[in-house]
Structure 1
């Protein structure tokens, strides 16, 4: 983990030396909230042990990049996108969690699920089941969010990204 954090942190000044004025770096997601690890709890809770590694990685990355609680560094050239907290707020919401979580009927269960447990995978001929309404599921398979899941994540990231980049609207894109 230390090597990955050091490599990520070392690339940022290299990009800035090449003329990139604003660099976005994202955290790793809460692996313990992926269906791969929530299956053991019948898709009702995240696995705290599965989230321990991402939590350590993300804390080390935040420290190494020198970003504050708001996600920006002192000179405004680096923003850490806290994908981890956003996904956690969506799939394991507390009382102050995201209102966007209410659009999903299934937060931790995958839409596409192997019928043979750990031996199968989503897409295996005859070995998986699909939900009827993917837009109501946050996760597509054991690891990846659905389009609706990513849309919710990006709705929460869009404002901070635009503010960091100094973009007032998206009409020009």
Structure 2
């Protein structure tokens, strides 16, 4: 009888491998579109402060956390642990939920202030809404692919 040595199918990339694997390739687009939301909302007058403060918090928090997450993964700090794969799913799921709520809040504020803001500010706000939903899409795709990877551990 031949003995089989079945290895777990999942592995977490490190180094430049994060630029070539399916879920991890989304780090840069997440940071680019999240950074654009941050810049566009900050470039206008943040009024009303309550929902737009949430949008700013989400965009800054997710930008910083995605950068740190990408740095940990590229440095190999995860040591190919299934716990890190689960944490990857949890973080990106939270980020997708945060960005969805921020995008909806930003869209509502933009529609409410359509006639009171100058057209240029309105265009900037519309661009921020679009980029917030694009960032939501990237985080959502990342969480789905990370969950598939986590299940293969």
Note whether the superposition's TM-score is higher than 0.5: no
Q: TM-score, normalised by structure 1?
A: 0.26
Q: TM-score, normalised by structure 2?
A: 0.28
- Bigger fraction of residues in helix: 2
Between 1 and 2, higher relative CO (CA 8 Å, sep ≥ 6) is seen in: 2
